[in-house]
Homo-oligomer: A and B are copies of this chain.
C-alpha cells in the first residue's frame, strides 16, 4: 500500500483525486490538508464521499506529510513550489497538479504566471507527466509535473502528425473548448450558473497560460519551432474538453499521404496506450463518452479538396486532464499496473 497525502483537497481536482483514490486498491490515504476547511470532515464538503472516506481536512503539516510515500498537490498555482523542496529533501515523492513545474524556461513561466519562481533549480529534474510521451522518465522521477488539461488534449492530438513531420509546424491552430469546472471552485461572478448556462464564448483569445506549455510540448516532438494559435472557449457544462485541431499537410505529404495513412499512423502510435482511443475514420467523439473516465478519444477528418488535417480530441478535464492522469502517473512511478483504479467506464447518459 502506498501512503498518500493530498495538499489542498477542497478544489475540483482535489475531490476528483479523492473519488479515484478512495477506490484505489493500493492506496492508503493518510492526510488531506486544507487551511480553510481544517477540522471539518471531507465528506461534509463532498457528500458523495460519505461512507467512503472518514478523514477530516487538517492544517498543512510537513512532518505529517513527510510520513507519506507520495504527496499530491491540488493547490492553486504558486503554492506547491514553496513546499515541495522540503518534502523532496525528506524523500517524499511529489505529483503537482498545478503549473509550478510544467515549464522548463523559468522566464517564460514567470512571465505567464506573474510571480517569481521559488525553486527554479528543480525545473530541470521535474518530469512532465504525459505518459504517452514520457513513460520511462516518469517511472523513476521524484517530482512530477502533471500536465494541464488543454495541453493534454492538444498534444495528444498533434503528436503523430508532428512526430512524423506530416504537417507544417508553423501554422497550427487549436480551437479548444472546456467545461466550467476548469475554472475551479473559487467564488467568482464569471463562473456563476446564471452567467454561464445557456451561453458560450471564447476567452483568453489574445493569449492563455496553456499556450507556452503546449508549445514546449509540440516543439519537443520535432525539430522546428512551432507556430500555434490557441483559442480556448467556455462550454456551458461541467466536465469535458474538446479540441479541434487544424494542421496543413506539408507539400510532400500533400501529394503522398492519404487520410487513411494518417489514420493508420495514429492507430499504430497509440496501439498500446491504455488511455488513448483512436476512433474509426469519420467519427465525432463526444465529451460525454469520456465523462468520469481517464480516456482520450481522437478522430480524424479531411474536407474535400483540402490540404488541412482536422483532429478532434476529447478528454474529461478533471480526469485525463488532471486527477486521473495524476493517478496514472502514480501507478507508473510505483510500478503498479497502469490502469489500476482508473478503469471506470464513462457515465453516459
Contacts and interface: CB of A to CB of B under 8 A. Distances in A.
A10 to B, nearest CB: 10
A93 to B, nearest CB: 25
Contacts of A284: 201-203, 205
Interface residues of A, number: 90
Nearest to A182: B194
Contact of A240 (B177, B200, B285, B303): B200
A189 B192 contact: no
B199 A237 contact: yes
A156 interface: no
A30 interface: no
Interface string A192-226: 11111111111101110001000000000000000
Given A200-B235, A201-B242, A292-B347, A191 B188 contact: no
B246 A286 contact: no
A329 interface: no
Contact of A206 (B201, B206, B301): B301
Interface stretch (A45-53, A113-121, A142-150): A45-53
Contacts of A48: 288-291, 293, 345-348
A287 B201 contact: yes
Nearest to A227: B306
Given A242-B201, A246-B229, A277 B194 contact: no
Interface string A134-178: 000000000000000000000000000000000000010101010
B229 A310 contact: yes
25 contacts: A12-B349, A47-B279, A47-B285, A48-B291, A50-B289, A52-B343, A173-B173, A173-B308, A175-B246, A180-B194, A180-B197, A181-B349, A191-B192, A191-B193, A191-B194, A192-B193, A195-B349, A197-B238, A198-B237, A199-B240, A199-B287, A205-B303, A205-B312, A206-B303, A292-B292
